[in-house]
Amino acid sequence: MSRKTVASRPALAWGLLAARLAAIAIVTVVMWAILAGFFDTPGFPPSMVWATAGLLPVNLLSLWLVLRLYRREGISLRDALGIRRGKIGRDILWGLLWLVVVNTPFMVGVSGTVFLMYGADAPAAFETIFVNPEATSDIAPLWLLVISIITVIPFMLINAPTEELVYRGYGMDGIATKHGGVFAVIATSILFGVQHMAFAATPPGMLVFFVAFTLWGAAAAIIVRKQKRLFPIVIAHWIINIMLAAPAIVFPILQLTGVIPTQ
C-alpha cells in the first residue's frame, strides 16, 4: 500500500461513515413523507418494516462504496472479512459466543436507560417506548408479506456484512491509522449508535437505541480489534438480524393462514 493511500485512508473512512449516516437520514425523511402523504401514517420515525425497506438502497450504496475503497487498496472481500479456508465452522462457533457477549451490554443499555428515564414506571414504559401506533400502516396481510419478502430477505443477507465492513472494517481501521485504536473504537461505536436512532419507534426510544447500540458497537469493535478479523462478528450480527427481521415475514403469514386474526 502506497504512502499516499495510507495518508488518505482516515479522510476516506470518515467520508464513508458520513455517507452512510447521511443516506439513512435522507431515506428516513423521504420514507416518512411518503407514508404521511399516501398512507396517512404520520408517525416518525417510520415503523421497522418501512425502515428496513429504506435500508435496502442504503446498504447497496454503502456496500458499493466500501468495496470500492477496499479494491482501491488491492484488498478482496474475502480478505476484508477475514474469511479463512477450512475454518468456517470454527468461526461460526466464535460467532455464537460473540452473540452472547455483544448482547449483554446491549440489554444492560436498554434496561438501564429506560430505568434512568422512568424509574419505578420503567416496566410500563416499555409498552410505549418501542411501539408507535401512529407509525403503523394499515396494510393488508398479503401486501405486507410481499413488501416484507422484498425488503427483509435482502436485509438479512447484506446488512450484517455491510455494517461490519463500514464500521468495524474500513471505518475503524482508517480512523485508527491517524487517531489510534481507542479513539477509533469510540468514534465508530458512537456513530453506530447514532445510525440506529433512525430505527426507534419513538423519541424516547431514540435515546435508548443510541445508548444500547453504542454499547453493542463498542463490544463488537473491541472483539474485532482483538481477533483482527470481521467474519466471526459478522456471523453474530447475521444471527441478530435474522432473529429481529424474521417476524416481519412470519407475522403476515400467520395472519393469512388464520392463526392470528386480522383487524
Q: What is the pLDDT of residues 25-81, one digit of tens each?
A: 998 888 777 777 666 666 666 666 777 778 889 999 999 999 999 999 999 999 999
The verdict on residue 29 lying in a domain is yes
The verdict on residue 130 lying in a domain is yes
The verdict on residue 174 lying in a domain is yes
- Reported pTM: 0.91
Domain around 124: 3-256
The x, y and z cell numbers of residue 3, run together, are: 504512502
Average pLDDT over all residues of the chain: 88
Residue with the bigger pLDDT between 5 and 19: it is 19
Q: Are 39 and 143 in contact (CB under 8 A)?
A: no
Q: For residue 17, which of 161, 219, 162, 228 has the smallest C-alpha distance?
A: 162
Q: How far is CA 45 from CA 53, 133, 215, 219, in A?
A: 13, 11, 22, 26
Asked whether residue 140 carries a pLDDT value surpassing 80, the answer given is: no
The verdict on residue 133 lying in a domain is yes
Count how many domains the chain has.
1
The verdict on residue 263 lying in a domain is no
The verdict on residue 180 lying in a domain is yes
The x, y and z cell numbers of residue 54, run together, are: 429504506
Q: Are 193 and 209 in contact (CB under 8 A)?
A: yes
The verdict on residue 85 lying in a domain is yes
The verdict on residue 262 lying in a domain is no
